[in-house]
Amino acid sequence: MQRRTFIQTTAAATVGFAAAPLIKVLGKDKKYTTALIGSGWWGGNILRCAIQAGESKVVALCDVDENQIKATLEEVKKLSGDTPKIYRDYRELLAKEKPEIVIVATPDHWHPLIAIAAMKAGAHVYVEKPICHTINEGKAMVKAARDTQRIVQVGTHRRASPHNISGMQFLKSGKAGKIGSVRAFVHYPGGPGKKTPDAEAPSTLDWNMWCGPAPLRAYNPTMHPKGFRSYLDYANGQLGDWGIHWMDQILWWTEEKHPKKVYSTANRFIREDSTDAPDTQNVLFEFETFTASWEHRLYAGNEAEKTNIGCYFYGTEGTFHMGWLDGWTFYPSDTKKQIIHEAPKLDEPDQQNIAALWADFLTSIKTNKLSMCDIEVGQRSTNMSLLGMLSWKLGRSVEWDGEKGLIKNDAEANKLLSRAYRGEWVYPTV
């Protein structure tokens, strides 16, 4: 069976409860007042899972785009019966509503300020990955979580996915042997594209607030909604988006918390559109006991490679592929042994496992124990991606002191751990 056919067949067979109309769960003792900040496509996915869990009363929605917030408001009314208040400024929402839970699903460059403000306002936070745009923002987020003693869950939901959990059990059992290298990758088809002229922002969008602490640049229709990840003022390209999921799988498997040396090369060899993130990137991470690599390209989709996404763990007993839509597969070195495969179990409509991660978040709030994707776990995974981008921008390798959160003997590189904020916005205290 061809890879594409296999993926379509497998995905169709794994439709979870989220594909059906959401039903309010009864009999819950406590409903947490919940607010969503960033009410677009992905924020809506998270909020649906919160509503479905039956332990949230949605009190507020916040977004700088009127079209997004109106659509989400109508859906919340239908799914839960709640009529949340709507806001354009998250600060006003936090001051007036004082929610117990805040979901932060904005573009990346907004995550730190909003998440920290929510923690300081007393809320537990579910923040999307990557947690930040620069490394010191993440350090400030961890500090805020510990200072306020709030539960902070990061949206690296593969830690809650059944096949990822069983795959990690397989790897940690030693059945793949001693692993000396890991290759993480995402390869998507595509082409050069074309330039899209800048334009006047829609009247329904507060573009100045959308840019917030990041540089204010001309609005481009390819940036919002959804396209911001390919613009480096607001995100960190494919490595900052997809990469963090697979960096997280590497750190989940190993006992080590940080790479000690990182080198990246990247470029735009194919793309000719209005974005500025690399279409081709390779990163090498040196750990104490193994080497990891990342590679992506946004072109040349093909049927020559078995899969286009995931991690290959190379061990003395065989090669293990941790995937997404195709589950996991172990290829023994001894060709007389059978290949072992586990199919994925994924929830629709987006073939993710957000509901399980939300359930863990609620359990952590009730027990006051760190969640499976605690902010410090998310910070370490985010740092791997950000270090790759930092090395590429510098044009050289960097030595990382993960415990101190500094690059060794490199003042120029350490300047890139933060960036200047615009206007009234103040960079968070580390």
Residues 286/378/423/276 CA torsion (nearest 10 deg): 50
Please give the CATH number for the structural domain made up of 32-158. 3.40.50.720
Q: Mind listing the pLDDT tens digit for each residue in 360-399?
A: 999 999 999 999 999 999 999 999 999 999 999 999 999 9
What architecture is domain 163-197+225-347+375-416? 2-Layer Sandwich (3.30)
Number of Cβ within 10 Å of residue 338's Cβ equals 8
Asked if 400 contacts 262 with a C-beta cutoff of 8 angstroms, the reply is yes
Is residue 243 predicted with pLDDT exceeding 60?
yes
- Give the pair of three-digit tokens for residue 209: 């607030």
Asked if 332 contacts 341 with a C-beta cutoff of 8 angstroms, the reply is no
* C-alpha span between 410 and 399 (Å, rounded): 9
Per-chain mean pLDDT for the chain: 93
* C-alpha span between 290 and 267 (Å, rounded): 26
* C-alpha span between 114 and 118 (Å, rounded): 6
Is residue 9 predicted with pLDDT exceeding 80?
no
Place of tokens 């350090």: 139
pLDDT at residue 13 in the model: 34
pLDDT at residue 29 in the model: 67
Strand partners, 329: 321, 341
Q: Mind listing the pLDDT tens digit for each residue in 200-228?
A: 999 999 999 999 999 999 999 999 998 99
Is residue 18 predicted with pLDDT exceeding 90?
no
Domain ranges of the chain: 32-158, 163-197+225-347+375-416
Q: Mind listing the pLDDT tens digit for each residue in 298-326?
A: 999 998 998 999 999 999 999 999 999 99
pLDDT at residue 28 in the model: 56
* C-alpha span between 419 and 233 (Å, rounded): 10
Asked if 225 contacts 41 with a C-beta cutoff of 8 angstroms, the reply is yes
pLDDT at residue 30 in the model: 82
